[in-house]
Structure 1
């Protein structure tokens, strides 16, 4: 099995799921898969992908896994009780070869948000591992050599413990085996500089800190759940604060673009949240804007954390650390470059929420090509409501 445990996913799926259970248990959603890497034939692997999804749907949380979750300070007992009854239901997943583009696949998830939210990460990990197993070109020995070179570079940074490094690589990893192999190497090689992993299964297995707060889908859903579309970002952040009462306080800034986010992220949120996460657009420009915004709202940036997590490699981390060092707290979540750097070109695959309660929702990324919506008319309306400039269709719903 590609996925051995229901804990083999990112922590932020659980933290969002808990908030859904407590606040929006009746919400209905739709997610859609997209492979952004051109020329990839995934359709040939449909039988194996389908088998792995069937196997995923047989899993249940083991008592010791539930005990582990119960021990996390921000996880509430009633949520763990719910997880004790939870299992994936295959009826919420549609998988078939694309009828429009040869070689592509159509993978959609539709059903109650509470019962579908956990599908995203394991399904992406399944597609990745099935594809790379069939490709059979990974060189793990050379991958470990490159990994150790990266660790040596990160350890050599000035005051290296101020450059916090985390693993964010579950969804696009080369394989579960490789992921499990490299994490102890990170822990041993970086020491206190390595602050944890987003993967709950491996965090439990290796005694690491599980990391994660919210993803884009949390803020996207409020475009359909919130009181007004214009107030959806503020409503999502308020709902998060109600759930976690100051814990898990890293806000995500690029659901409808940085300009619109900063208009909503007022002094209250600047002081309430612990920091912000970058996931699209130029990271240097973004970081400067965040620091200036915090200062303008009478908040000391040195007390806040900027988390960078967009397509990081060691060279970019070096440059970002040198640029922002001493001006704020810094953390770097490395994904694909960490868990899928063994030779073959990694796949750029995503699963994004496209509808909530029957209404379209969208992410308008600061990076062309990262946005995703199935309704161009809604994208235009969203831009109008948030006062965003018109953009080309390809960027809006690529």
Structure 2
């Protein structure tokens, strides 16, 4: 069984689950697996994946996990924590098909339930692929140590974000242990709740793209940012204050990022496009709104490596607080080619009886747009994007 712990999942899935339960308990959604790298999966992969998915129904949150979440995730109320203790995955929500080397996976059900599938399902697909193709990891701890020492030397605050596309749980575990041992105070935590508990470090995560995608689908693309941020604040009251900007690209986001939200949120996350242009744009935005950029944070998180982190670090020095969320480069840099895969929200409806609406994601990198093509074009037209 690849996923052996209920909290072997990223914090952001639990935070958005909490918000969904509070505000949209009747919402019904679909997610789809997207194989961006066109990887051919081996014969029998779908059957092996189905077995792993079925196993997840046996997972339950342990007393130790509940105690940790109650202590460290201060933004969750006791009702939600009790709900997590009783939560059980339903494998019937996951649909799996394989034709030749092509793998098709979709998820459908109440949003407050299905939201937890994305990260463990991707981790299973990744680890299972490397198992079935006979890949062997090399230099796990040595590479992690070298990266940790380098990041420490340049003073780059960093967190580990690599659950979804990791080589394996074992590699992930060893990487986090090495980062904690070698990074010193530069290491700020991990997105993986179980490993945060195991190593007594900080669980990291805030707002995902799907939160904005849902609001864009239901309320329109011009209203998506304000609606999504207001809803988040209603639930978390100022906690979890790093927001993504690129769900419908950064310029429309900043046009809707009110002074209230700019002051309330601790900062923003760069997840696509040019990091240097993004940095200039964000600093200019804060200055124009009479906010000292040094009081805010940019979390850089798109396809980072040591060279890019060092380059960004030099560029932003003394201008704004910077931090780095590093994923696959930490957890799947072991000699294999990581899978280029995602699972994205594709359709939403306010309740099971209503009609589905398309949910799409744009990006500051055009090649990363996802969703129905006609709906993507509609969102771009609505937002006056080329």
TM-score range, shorter chain: over 0.9
* In 2, Cα distance between equivalents of 1:164 and 1:77: 31
Q: Does 1:35 align with 2:35?
A: yes
Does the 8 A contact of 1:11 with 1:211 survive in 2?
yes
Q: 1:125 aligns with which of 109, 112, 123?
A: 123
CA distance in 2, matches of 1:327, 1:42: 49
The superposition leaves residues 250-291 of structure 1 with CA deviations (integer Å, 9 ceiling, x where unpaired) of 010000011111111122221110000011111111111111
Residue 364 of structure 1 corresponds to: 362
Distance 1:285 1:48, change over 3 A: same
1:270 aligned residue? 262
Partners of 2:267 and 2:52 lie apart in 1 by 37
**Cα distance in 1 between the residues matched to 2:343 and 2:164:** 10
Q: 1:282 aligns with which of 254, 265, 274?
A: 274
Aligned to 2:145: 148
Q: Shift of residue 208 of structure 1?
A: 0.8
Query: Which deviates more, 18-27 or 265-274?
Result: 265-274
Aligned residue number for residue 108 of structure 1 = 106
| Aligned counterparts of 1:147 and 1:388: Cα–Cα separation in 2 | 41
Aligned pair partner of 1:203 in 196, 199, 202: 196
Q: What residue ranges of structure 1 are gaps of 5+ in the alignment?
A: 390-398
For residues 283 and 4 of structure 2, what CA distance do their matches in structure 1 show? 42
Query: 3-state DSSP class of the match of 1:156?
Result: helix
Q: Which residue is 1:379 aligned to?
A: 376
Contact 1:46 1:97 (8 Å CA) reproduced: yes
Q: Which runs of 4+ in 1 moved over 4 A?
A: none
Q: Secondary structure at the match of 1:369?
A: helix
| 1:90 equivalenced with 2:91 (yes/no) | yes
User: Structure 1 residue 53: deviation in Å?
Assistant: 0.5
- Aligned partners of 1:41 and 1:127: how far apart in 2? 10
The alpha carbon displacement at 1:137 in A equals 2.8
2:294 to 302, 314, 324: 302
Match of 1:394 in 2: none
Query: Where does 1:67-86 land on structure 2 (aligned, <5 Å)?
Result: 67-71=67-71, 72-86=73-87
Q: Tell me, what secondary structure is at the counterpart of 1:84? A: helix
Residues 191 and 44 of structure 1, relative CA distance in 2, 3 Å threshold:
same
Q: Contact conserved, 1:43 with 1:105, CA < 8 A, in 2? A: no
- 1:39 Cα deviation from its structure 2 partner: 4.2
1:278-357 superposed matches below 5 A:
278-357=270-349
What is the CA distance between 1:338 and its match in structure 2?
Answer: 0.4
Instruction: Give the Cα–Cα distance (whole angstroms) in 2 for the partners of residues 56 and 245 of structure 1.
Output: 32
- Retained in 1: the 8 A contact 2:152–2:184? no
**Deviation for aligned residue 1:43:** 5.4
The alpha carbon displacement at 1:341 in A equals: 0.6
Q: How far is the alpha carbon of 1:31 from its aligned partner?
A: 0.4
Number of residue pairs matched by the alignment: 379
1:243 lines up with 2:244 in the alignment: no
Give, in angstroms, the shift of residue 366 of structure 1.
1.2
Give the alignment of 1:383-398 within 5 angstroms: 383-389=380-386
1:180-232 deviations in Å (ceiling 9; x for gaps): 11211101101110000000000011101000001100110112333x44211
| TM-score, L = length of structure 2 | 0.95
8 Å Cα contact 2:42/2:133 also seen in 1: no
Query: Contact 1:267/1:298 (CA < 8 Å) preserved in 2?
Result: no
Tell me if structure 2 keeps the 8 A contact 1:44–1:103. no
Secondary structure of 1:91's match?
Answer: helix
Q: SS at 2:97's partner residue?
A: strand
Cα distance change on mapping 1:144 and 1:63 into 2, 3 Å:
closer
Q: Secondary structure at the match of 2:58?
A: coil
Provide structure 2 residue ranges, at least 5 long, that are not aligned to the other structure: 350-355
Deviation at 1:322, TM superposition (A): 0.8
Please give the per-residue CA displacement for 1:304-340, whole angstroms capped at 9, x wherever unaligned: 0000010011111011111102211111011001000
Q: How many angstroms apart in 1 are the aligned matches of 2:35 and 2:376?
A: 21
The two structures have a TM-score, normalised by structure 1, of 0.93
Q: 1:87 to 1:262 in 2, by over 3 A?
A: same
